[in-house]
Copies of this chain bind each other. A is one copy, B any other.
Amino acid sequence: MSPAKPSPDKREAIFCATIKLLAKYGFHGFSIKQLAEEAGVATGTIYLYFKDREDLIRELNTQIINDFVKASLEGHDPQLPLKQQYQHICFNIWQFCIENSCITHCKAQFDHLPPDVLRSQHSHAWDGLQPLKHLFEQGRKTQKIKNLPDDILISFSIEPYLYLARQHLLDIIKVDSEQLTHIIDASWDAIAGPASKNTNGQFPQE
């Protein structure tokens, strides 16, 4: 089966098994022993590739963010109209979440790492999402997108998809491709247009 080479993709096997187990059991109920079994290696082997448990999880987190960001921007074309650019990214996100169910379930787990890790993760993710930043910036300038900070726009642009994908994968709800279109439209409605002017009675914002 497995010879004794250096090892190009054994690390990958460990990653893969970690994702699988983390998605299934969460951080509790996830043990190194179980991981070794799932990955088809000895427990000690894991420590040849990762300093310790924490290191493994941090590295995995980084890779997942990278993959997610990369998938989100696949085929991105800054020449297209803003709305189309946005729709494309949203579709990418949905697609990625559905096709990588383990990652989708994992990802949410990472939202509860220590605060300092979260902060660096946050800024790292934004680094990769530069094109989305530009899209938002351009949208704000041309009044096609509400004049709100990136993070707030994100809360309508990415979070709902993550949530819905999780529920979809758990069979709690079902989203077909026609609904997805409507969802993407709804999410565009949330961020589109200059910040609405009259909430209740109040003053225009500008």
Interface residues of A (CB under 8 A from B): 26-28, 83-84, 87, 105, 108-109, 111-113, 115, 118-119, 122, 146, 148-149, 151-152, 155-156, 159-160, 163-164, 166-167, 170, 172-173, 175, 179, 181-187, 189-193, 195-196, 199-200, 202, 205
Assess whether A26 is in contact with B112, with CB atoms less than 8 Å apart: yes
Residues on B with C-beta less than 8 A from A164 are 151-152, 155
Cβ contacts A to B, 10 pairs, < 8 Å: A26-B113, A27-B112, A83-B200, A122-B167, A148-B183, A149-B173, A151-B173, A152-B175, A152-B186, A181-B202
Assess whether A122 is in contact with B159, with CB atoms less than 8 Å apart: no
CA gap between A83 and B196 in the complex, in Å = 13
CA gap between A27 and B29 in the complex, in Å = 10
Taking the full assembly, how many copies of this chain does it contain? 2
Assess whether A179 is in contact with B148, with CB atoms less than 8 Å apart: yes
Assess whether B187 is in contact with A148, with CB atoms less than 8 Å apart: no
Which residue of the partner chain B has the closest CB to A105?
Answer: B112
CB distance from A161 to the nearest CB of B (A): 8
CB distance from A68 to the nearest CB of B (A): 15
